[in-house]
Structure 1
Amino acid sequence: MSVLPIVITGDPVLHTPASPVSNFDADLATLVADMYDTMEAAPGVGLAAPQVGVALRVFVYDWTDDDDVHWRGEAINPELWQSPLTLGEADEDVESEGCLSIPGERFPLRRADRVLLRALNLRQEPFELVAGGWFARILQHEYDHLDGVLYADRLEHRYAKPMAKVIRKSSWGMPGQSWMPGVDNLDS
């Protein structure tokens, strides 16, 4: 297994809907294993295949909730349903999130409180998860990556402008940029 470079915002793979997985083979198993290694090295709580330059509908997650329940797995060809959003502005203290493809930045974003995820694992076994709180946020964030959407694309106007400034100041926003977890000294 190995750690893969993480693609930085601006690369087309991050802004293009990913293709469904059709081959559940050794290459897919290697990709998923490498994604776990990369997520852990970053460190992160989720990672989607487009973030490592692979345009497939697969993501991994690793989260321990407030009840000490450990959630770890891969979601292949997922479907996601979410509860309605609560009205109002996002809370900067409770609802700020970051993204490994926009390293070091965090901005508040309103997300659904509960989600239902249906997907396949590596053995092509279907599974279903109902998640709330931060775990629901993780699943929504990673699922968005599969549709070519970054959390920066969903920010309220008052946060979108500072995010755009950070991206411009960091010279991101163009194809071919990445960082290597465990090697590059970037905040994520």
Structure 2
Amino acid sequence: MAETFEDMLTGGHPNSLGRTVEVVDLVLSETGRFDELFGCYRSNNEVVRLRTSNAMKRVEAEKHDLLVPYIDRFIEEIGALDQASAQWTLAQLFDRLSGDMDEKQRSAALAIMKRNLENHDDWIVLNNSMETLSKWAGADADLLNWLRPHLERLSADARKSVASRASKKLRALGID
């Protein structure tokens, strides 16, 4: 029996890519296996889910259209995952997929990123959520008004990368 993607994404040092690039190459050459990769988000193994997120960004960069039919599943299934790597990846993917979203999907993606900016403590989740929300706020006055106090709060964060990003976004949006 062929090795599953979950098997391939298991093992090795938790901070390494492991065999992620090999999985991506297989998905790109056998696009019908994308669903198997997406299914790895259901793994009980946190490292597998982390590597799945990394693989998703790589697949999107090469074959964006593979992810489009999964927008609802990213929102509903991955948006509910309590794992920082899944949430920071969602913010990045939501930005890249925003042109493919309908209004309902965009609203749901926005709710996830707002929740993360309000409640998450992971610095990468905060930075990626700020990045995408700031881009979207450029064309949405209501979002801009919502975002301002959160950027102001985060501009005083003890973590330099978070505070710097928030301050930079306030200046870029002209609300500093």
TM-score range, shorter chain: under 0.3
Which one has a larger percent strand, Structure 1 or Structure 2? Answer: 1
Question: Which protein is bigger by CA-based radius of gyration?
Answer: 2
Q: Per residue, is there more helix in 1 or in 2?
A: 2
Q: Whose RCO is larger (CA < 8 A, sep 6+)? A: 1
- TM-score, normalization: structure 2? 0.27
TM-score by length of 1: 0.26
